[in-house]
């Protein structure tokens, strides 16, 4: 084969179809002796290279790697795999790059690379020509890796899923063809491919509300779509799915990794899978596991098309798509892991190694290997991948897993790392949303707030302080210990964490991604149900996951039948959601937190591809107001309130740090104690001061006041008397209460000093309290069928609870099949269940992992906690014998009349004049 010149694409890695019907293949390897491009064709089809390739005999005594070195193009029949392999010897290296032009190439062509060179694992060199390797730039991937001896470069055996052998031993001469995935060509030359694309939403940071979800977990149990769409990209693009997201009010979905993945050996040995997807197999190919069966059958191009259609559908619905990306490590794991791509091409250049022992990998990820981002080629590789996903797939931004690993120079984090500059300066990427997870497992790995403009970062300080204030400090109050989080810390987090993020000129509060829970740790509901993790299902003897969760079970581990316990738990959950959505910064919700999702105490469910992780939706079609519906209503209302207030639609700090590191007061925020006075210096440093208000002063609209009562008793609070105030929302509403003027309280409630929250019921029914399912029109639709099945099942549960058998009538002659239709055409149970019989939904558990920051060690002293020196504080502990008074929908009143604020609550007020 003659090749006189390379095509214009030959300076960049990848496989590029050319106008002559062939392709240029370019791959990077600085240390290989020789590389081959391998094309795999089915044996029962004519070969495209019949007149080009030399046929290799099957019975030759010459070793395979010596045979292929003898010819520029050769082919062989692999009968056991019913395929033909044609190998093209590549030219190079030229500045580390290898090239070849092949005369024929087509959409859907399966291919890979083989590499030969020195075998010296103790020096980090592990070339093995018997292993076909993925193209790092492959846009499509076909197949999975088998856990078999063929998957490893060194000689080993596999018994019961366990690998036995030494990575420093002899080279394996077992061919891995048929045991490993292959690269697949996708023709991207269509000049019309972007025609008809909807415009990107381009949501400003100041108006962004992020919703973290797993594509499969979010839709796997969704009853509103056809079964074949559940758990898929197409399911996330379903109109009802998008309508749910719109109704919730979020602006951006952050998807857990959807790059092609490979389950690690250790997880597979336990019969589990890497469900979260933080084990990347290909950085350009989407994971086929989340595609519909039809798309998988059609091949990688159809899988990618489904992803593109999903992104376009979300864009059409006004929702941004952010991807969680994992550039810190690969699925190949440690030195004894399999060889699927990077290790076989150039392990020395791709992975960081110890300078004193190059046979050992540096691991700052906890996953066995670490990409070497001091190598320019690795930086180019990551940037090329990100540009592809943003330009071709159309996503709006990225969240970088274990981001300090990507910015280590000589092992030490630097905000001036070339990779970070490459992201900032790229004309496309620099205008996208880029979010850093600012910690890894290496030395000095906790770097919250240190990435600089234009990066946003997950704020673990907000997460931990919010949990501790509303959960563990509440536990401390009950036990008689001192609190750890006071007004100063909470005020700092409410104002956007200027202590962490006011580090660069122009960097504002929106750089703080505020969250209380994420995929990696407890769900919001489980934070209030469990004091400790319950990860036995992971097969690691409950040793995995984080032990520092700042959770509180309110006296009972796991689900509870005690209404008082459930009421306190729900109040605490809404306190945390309220804090999240009322704080300056960019809020992020975990999917399912808005409707009490739980994971059975598993706080590290990375390997649970089952009901532990899949969201449950049966409550959605209940004819009653369930606790899940109540939580959803409150969360939706809070998001709507946040989006309606221009006070949150800005990026600057209300309180900032100057470049000299000195506190600069702001005219946009005021702080108040319950008696209406400004806190003194001693108040800021007194952690027993847990009652305060934050007034946000507007320029062209009404002010708002956020009132926090962190005491387990009510407080009478004087709001500013220069105007009147209206209560917009309060977490006390979860118990049928809300702030009221003291003068409006019934006489017996005004000054009896009782604790008004201890005995409150969870979400009491209100007059004319209905659910949206009562208005669903009749018809043969997935939603209607799901609704009918849910009601049928619900009525059966009620009748059984009354002592009847399924299929029998109740004491009044009501049969579980006795369903009537109301005027709107929706199904209604002939005898509705009693209001007290409320479904609590399935119980699933918690998450946890590397994301939790270690809490600073603090001593606790015994003794009764003192109340603030200022403010009107009244109350004792118990009112379980009392019935909560009926509350009006809203209360306005005289400016000099104090408001009664329930214990352990957060409330939002707006100026009315």
Q: What is the DSSP string of 233-288?
A: HHHHTSHHHHHHHHHHT--EEEEPP-EEE---HHHHHTT---SS--SEEEEEEE-G
Task: Please identify which residue in the block is written with the tokens 């004319």.
Answer: 768
Give the active site residue among 264, 306, 396, 401. Answer: 401
**Residues 229-287: pLDDT tens digits?**
999 999 999 999 999 999 999 999 999 999 999 999 999 999 999 999 999 999 999 99
Q: Give the pLDDT band of residue 775 (cuts 50, 70, 90).
A: confident
Q: Give the pLDDT band of residue 881 (cuts 50, 70, 90).
A: very low
**Residues 663-682: pLDDT tens digits?**
556 678 999 999 999 999 99
Is the Cβ–Cβ distance between 842 and 848 less than 8 Å? no
Whole-angstrom distance, CA of residue 826 vs CA of residue 779: 9
Q: Which helix (H) or strand (E) is 572 found in, with range?
A: helix 563-582
Q: Is the pLDDT of residue 820 over 70?
A: no
Are β-strands 252-255 and 320-325 bridged in parallel, bridged antiparallel, or unpaired? Answer: parallel
Helix, strand, coil fractions of the chain, as percent rounded to 5: 25, 20, 55
Cα angle 438, 440, 444 (rounded to 5 degrees) comes to 90
The answer to whether 566 is a known catalytic residue is no
Q: Is the pLDDT of residue 159 over 70?
A: yes
**Residues 565-595: pLDDT tens digits?**
999 999 999 999 999 999 999 999 999 999 9
Q: Give the pLDDT band of residue 895 (cuts 50, 70, 90).
A: low
Output the CA torsion sign for 126, 129, 132, 136: positive
Q: Which two tokens stand for residue 216?
A: 């499969």
Which DSSP state fits 776? P
Whole-angstrom distance, CA of residue 77 vs CA of residue 60: 13
**Residues contacting residue 300 through CB under 8 Å, at least 6 positions apart:** 108, 139, 140, 141, 142, 184, 186, 285, 288
Average pLDDT over residues 424-451: 96
Q: Which two tokens stand for residue 649?
A: 């639609």
User: Which among 231, 223, 222, 244 is positioned nearest to 295, based on CA atoms?
Assistant: 231
**Residues contacting residue 130 through CB under 8 Å, at least 6 positions apart:** 64, 65, 114, 171, 172, 173, 174, 175, 176
Between helices 563-582 and 460-467, what is the axis angle to 10°? 150
User: Which among 384, 337, 336, 330 is positioned nearest to 352, based on CA atoms?
Assistant: 330
Give the active site residue among 24, 437, 566, 624. Answer: 437
Whole-angstrom distance, CA of residue 593 vs CA of residue 346: 44
User: Which among 398, 516, 365, 497 is positioned nearest to 852, based on CA atoms?
Assistant: 516
Strand, helix or coil for residue 537: helix
Buried b (16+ CB within 10 A) or exposed e, 32-54: bebbbbbbbbeeeeebbbeebbe
Whole-angstrom distance, CA of residue 91 vs CA of residue 838: 71
Whole-angstrom distance, CA of residue 171 vs CA of residue 159: 19
Question: What does the CA dihedral 375, 380, 383, 389 come to, rounded to 10 degrees?
Answer: -130
Output the CA torsion sign for 737, 739, 745, 751: positive
User: Which among 324, 859, 853 is positioned nearest to 546, based on CA atoms?
Assistant: 853
pLDDT of residue 668: 85
pLDDT of residue 477: 85
Which DSSP state fits 813? S
Output the CA torsion sign for 301, 304, 308, 310: positive
pLDDT of residue 699: 80
pLDDT of residue 821: 35
Whole-angstrom distance, CA of residue 590 vs CA of residue 579: 15
Q: Out of 156-170, 202-216, 815-829, which region has the weakest mean confidence (pLDDT)?
A: 815-829
More confident residue, 854 or 343: 343
The answer to whether 437 is a known catalytic residue is yes
Backbone angles phi, psi at 669, to 5 degrees: -140, 140
**Residues contacting residue 61 through CB under 8 Å, at least 6 positions apart:** none
Whole-angstrom distance, CA of residue 463 vs CA of residue 842: 26
pLDDT of residue 748: 60
pLDDT of residue 652: 84
Whole-angstrom distance, CA of residue 185 vs CA of residue 102: 13
pLDDT of residue 791: 61
User: Which among 708, 680, 416 is positioned nearest to 579, based on CA atoms?
Assistant: 708
Strand, helix or coil for residue 408: strand
Contacts by residues 244-247 (CB-CB < 8 Å, ≥ 24 positions apart): 245/211, 245/314, 245/317, 245/319, 246/317, 246/318, 246/319, 247/636
Q: What is the DSSP string of 28-88?
A: E-SS-SEEEEEEEEETTS--TTTTTSEEPPTT-SS-HHHHHTT-SEEEEEEGGGTEEEEEE
Strand, helix or coil for residue 615: coil
**Residues 31-80: pLDDT tens digits?**
999 999 999 999 999 999 999 999 999 888 899 999 999 999 999 999 88
**Residues contacting residue 339 through CB under 8 Å, at least 6 positions apart:** 126, 128, 131, 133, 151, 152, 153, 176, 332
Give 368-391 as a 3 state SS string: CCCECCCCHHHHHHHHHHHHHHHH
pLDDT of residue 757: 52
Q: Out of 338-347, 459-468, 502-511, 550-559, which region has the weakest mean confidence (pLDDT)?
A: 502-511
Whole-angstrom distance, CA of residue 547 vs CA of residue 321: 32
Is the Cβ–Cβ distance between 117 and 217 less than 8 Å? no
More confident residue, 13 or 824: 13
More confident residue, 199 or 655: 199
User: Which among 130, 129, 144, 128 is positioned nearest to 182, based on CA atoms?
Assistant: 144
Between helices 563-582 and 487-494, what is the axis angle to 10°? 60
Average pLDDT over residues 720-727: 93
Average pLDDT for the chain:
86
Q: Is the pLDDT of residue 139 over 50?
A: yes
Q: How many helices (H) and strands (E) does the chain have?
A: 20, 40
Whole-angstrom distance, CA of residue 494 vs CA of residue 8: 53
Are β-strands 905-911 and 704-709 bridged in parallel, bridged antiparallel, or unpaired? Answer: antiparallel
Whole-angstrom distance, CA of residue 825 vs CA of residue 820: 9
Whole-angstrom distance, CA of residue 541 vs CA of residue 521: 17
Q: Which two tokens stand for residue 905?
A: 């609550």
- For 511-570, strand residue ranges (E) read 512-514
Percent of the chain with pLDDT over 90: 73
Task: Please identify which residue in the block is written with the tokens 């209300």.
Answer: 654
pLDDT of residue 818: 38
Contacts by residues 557-562 (CB-CB < 8 Å, ≥ 24 positions apart): 557/529, 557/530, 557/531, 557/532, 558/529, 558/530, 558/601, 558/843, 559/529, 559/598, 559/840, 559/843, 560/529
Q: Is the pLDDT of residue 478 over 90?
A: no
Whole-angstrom distance, CA of residue 739 vs CA of residue 722: 19
Whole-angstrom distance, CA of residue 118 vs CA of residue 97: 18
Q: Which two tokens stand for residue 622?
A: 């209940």
Q: Give the pLDDT band of residue 768 (cuts 50, 70, 90).
A: low
User: Which among 500, 507, 411 is positioned nearest to 462, based on CA atoms?
Assistant: 500
């Amino acid at each position: 084969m003659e090749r006189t010149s390379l095509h214009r694409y030959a300076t960049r890695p990848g496989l590029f179809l050319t106008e002559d019907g062939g392709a240029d293949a370019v791959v990077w390897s600085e240390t290989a002796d020789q590389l081959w491009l391998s094309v795999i064709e089915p044996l029962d089809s004519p070969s495209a290279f019949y007149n080009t390739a030399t046929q290799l005999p099957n019975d030759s005594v010459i070793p395979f790697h010596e045979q292929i070195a003898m010819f520029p193009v050769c082919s062989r029949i692999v009968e056991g795999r019913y395929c033909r392999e044609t190998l093209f010897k590549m030219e190079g290296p030229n500045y580390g790059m290898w090239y070849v032009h092949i005369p024929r190439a087509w959409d859907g062509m399966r291919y890979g690379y083989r590499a030969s060179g020195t075998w010296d694992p103790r020096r980090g060199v592990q070339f093995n020509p018997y292993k076909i390797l993925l193209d790092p730039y492959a846009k499509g991937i076909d197949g999975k890796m088998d856990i078999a001896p063929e998957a490893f470069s060194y000689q080993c055996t596999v018994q019961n899923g366990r690998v036995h052998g030494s990575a420093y031993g002899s080279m394996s001469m077992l061919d891995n063809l048929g045991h490993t995935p292959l690269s697949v060509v996708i023709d991207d030359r269509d000049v019309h491919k972007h025609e008809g694309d909807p415009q990107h939403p381009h949501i400003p940071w100041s108006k962004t509300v992020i919703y973290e979800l797993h594509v499969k977990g979010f839709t796997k149990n969704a009853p509103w779509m056809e079964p074949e769409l559940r758990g898929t990209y197409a399911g996330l693009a379903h109109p009802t799915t998008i309508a749910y997201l719109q109704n919730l009010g979020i602006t951006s979905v952050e998807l857990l990794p959807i790059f092609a993945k490979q389950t690690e050996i250790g997880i597979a040995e336990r019969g589990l899978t890497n469900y979260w997807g933080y084990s990347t197999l290909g950085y350009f190919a989407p994971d086929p596991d989340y595609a519909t069966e039809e798309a998988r059958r059609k091949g990688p191009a159809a899988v990618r098309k489904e992803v593109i259609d999903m992104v376009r559908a979300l864009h059409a619905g006004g929702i941004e798509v952010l991807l969680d990306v994992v550039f810190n490590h690969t699925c190949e794991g440690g030195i004894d892991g399999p060889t699927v791509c990077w290790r076989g091409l150039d392990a020395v250049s791709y992975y960081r190694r110890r300078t004193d022992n190059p046979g050992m990998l540096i691991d700052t990820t906890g996953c066995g290997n670490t990409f070497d981002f001091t190598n320019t080629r690795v930086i180019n590789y990551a940037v090329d991948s990100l540009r592809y996903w943003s330009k071709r797939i159309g996503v709006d931004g990225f969240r970088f897993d274990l981001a300090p690993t990507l910015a280590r120079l000589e092992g030490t984090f630097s905000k001036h790392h070339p990779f970070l500059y490459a992201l900032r300066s790229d004309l496309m990427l620099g205008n996208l949303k880029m979010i850093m997870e600012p910690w890894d497992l290496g030395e000095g790995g906790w770097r919250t707030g240190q990435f600089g403009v234009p990066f946003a970062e997950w704020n673990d300080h907000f997460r931990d302080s919010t949990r501790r204030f509303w959960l563990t400090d509440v536990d401390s109050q009950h036990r008689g210990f001192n609190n750890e989080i006071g007004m100063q810390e909470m005020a700092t987090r409410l104002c956007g964490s200027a202590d962490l993020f006011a580090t660069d000129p122009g960097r504002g509060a929106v750089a703080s991604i505020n969250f209380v829970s994420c995929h990696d740790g407890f769900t919001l509901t489980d934070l209030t149900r469990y004091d400790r993790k319950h990860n036995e299902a992971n097969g690691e003897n409950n040793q995995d996951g984080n032990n520092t969760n700042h959770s509180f079970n309110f006296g009972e581990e796991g689900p509870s039948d005690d209404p008082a316990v459930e009421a306190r738990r729900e109040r605490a959950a809404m306190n945390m959601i309220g804090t999240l959505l009322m704080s300056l910064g960019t809020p992020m919700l975990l999917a399912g937190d808005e409707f009490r999702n739980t994971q059975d105490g598993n706080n590290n469910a990375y390997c649970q591809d089952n009901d532990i992780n899949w969201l449950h939706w049966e409550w959605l079609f209940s004819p009653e107001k369930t606790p899940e519906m109540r939580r959803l209503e409150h969360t939706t209302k809070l998001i709507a309130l946040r989006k309606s207030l221009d006070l949150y639609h800005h990026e600057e700090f209300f309180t900032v740090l100057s470049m000299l590191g000195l506190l600069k007061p702001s005219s946009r925020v005021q702080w108040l104690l319950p008696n209406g006075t400004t806190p003194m210096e001693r108040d800021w440093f007194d952690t027993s001061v847990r009652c305060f208000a934050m007034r946000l002063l507007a320029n062209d609209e009404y002010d708002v006041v956020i009132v926090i009562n962190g005491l387990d008793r009510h407080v009478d609070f004087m709001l500013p008397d220069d105007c009147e105030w209206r209560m917009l929302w309060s977490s006390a509403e979860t118990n049928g209460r809300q702030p009221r003027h003291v003068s409006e309280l019934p006489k017996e409630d005004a000054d009896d000093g009782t604790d008004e929250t201890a005995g409150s019921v969870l979400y009491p029914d209100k007059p004319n309290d209905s659910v949206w399912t009562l208005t669903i029109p009749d018809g043969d639709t997935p939603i209607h069928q799901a609704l009918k099945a849910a009601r049928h099942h619900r009525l059966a549960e009620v009748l059984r609870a009354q002592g009847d058998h399924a299929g029998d009538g109740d004491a009044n002659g009501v049969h579980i099949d006795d369903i009537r239709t109301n005027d709107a055409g929706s199904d209604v149970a002939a005898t509705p269940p009693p209001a007290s019989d409320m479904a609590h939904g399935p119980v699933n558990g918690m998450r946890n992992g590397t994301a939790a920051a270690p809490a600073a060690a603090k001593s606790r002293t015994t003794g009764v906690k003192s109340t603030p020196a200022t403010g009107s504080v009244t109350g004792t502990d118990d009112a379980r014998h009392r019935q909560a008074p009926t509350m009006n929908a809203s209360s306005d009143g005289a400016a000099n009349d104090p408001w009664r604020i329930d214990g352990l609550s957060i409330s939002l007020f707006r100026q009315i004049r």
